[in-house]
Amino acid sequence: MARIRSIKPEFWSSEQVMECSPTARLLFIGLWNFCDDAGNHSLSVRTIKAEIFPGDDIDSTSIRGMLDELSSNGLIVFYSSENKDFLHVTGWQHQRIDKPTFKHPPYRPENSAMPRRTVDDSSTPERRGEERRGEEGSGEDIPPNPHGGGENLELIGEPGQASKPEPLQPIIDAYHGLLPRCERVVVLNPKRRKRILAADKLARSVCKSQGWPYVATEFWDAYFGECATDPWMRGEVPNPKNPNWRQNLDVLLAEDRFASVMDRAIGSMRGEA
């Protein structure tokens, strides 16, 4: 059943929120009304469209894109349970609910790496408030991964895309292989793609300027190998302000730390101490 939720004033100035488009922010707020009292909702684009944008000309692709935005900025996380896909709004503990009801399976971090499209998680800006019951819509789940395969098959990008071209896949493979405690890449939206390509371009340029041949697999194994030497970068240091947060690729490729880790990675490839 739908419920009334409240919004903290600091929601509007949150950096996580401001990174999202205005329509994605509206979708985020709308999700709170239709999530169950644990902050969970079925990962059904059709249902979400019917519930939040019933009178708007917004297609499924746009809804998926907005969910990707929320995920990549740590506002929601995708998970699966019993072969069905769901999303979880993080920071839900800020909601005060007198008589909670739970419609969907509970979110557990170990279930957040899904073979289908999913959503990331982080802190959310709900405020403690009162709620009332309303009507909840229904719809169909997002179709299964068109590639088929086993439980651990990753979907990176849009459904129906058989593979990712170089240089993205070697980077993601190295990240998954060397940093298993970090959040897995299950959605490759334009913002994340841009960050990965920018990092790869800089690495190629620096290697060339130093007279060192750039080989993607070699460099990114070295880069994430350097990350793995630091407890925080390898995902072993929790965030006391947000217990649901997990170390992720976006943070590890952020400009402010990429250069220093890259220097160490190139040094290790050269055999320097």
Q: Where are the alpha helices (DSSP H) in the chain?
A: 15-18, 22-34, 45-52, 60-72, 168-178, 190-209, 216-227, 249-252, 255-270
Q: What is the pLDDT of residue 123?
A: 33
pLDDT in tens, 221-243: 999 999 999 999 999 998 888 88
Residue 253 has pLDDT above 90, yes or no: yes
State the Cα–Cα distance between residues 220 and 200, nearest whole angstrom. 9
CATH 1.10.3720.10 for domain 6-127:
no
What is the average pLDDT score of the chain? Answer: 75
What is the DSSP-derived secondary structure letter of residue 78? E
Helix (H) or strand (E) holding 166, with range, is: none
Residue 62 has pLDDT above 80, yes or no: yes
Instruction: Tell which phi-psi region holds residue 105, choosing left (phi > 0), alpha (psi between -120 and 50) or beta.
Output: beta
Query: If you average pLDDT over residues 83-97, what whole number do you get?
Result: 71
State the Cα–Cα distance between residues 78 and 113, nearest whole angstrom. 7
Strand partners, 87: 41, 78
| Domain ranges (residues) in the chain | 6-127, 168-270
**Averaging pLDDT over each range in 8-22, 115-129, 152-166, 225-239, which range is the top one?**
225-239
For 28-50, b/e burial (b = at least 16 CB within 10 A) is bebbbbbbbbbbbbbbbbbbbbe
Q: ∠ CA 144-147-151 to the nearest 5 degrees?
A: 70
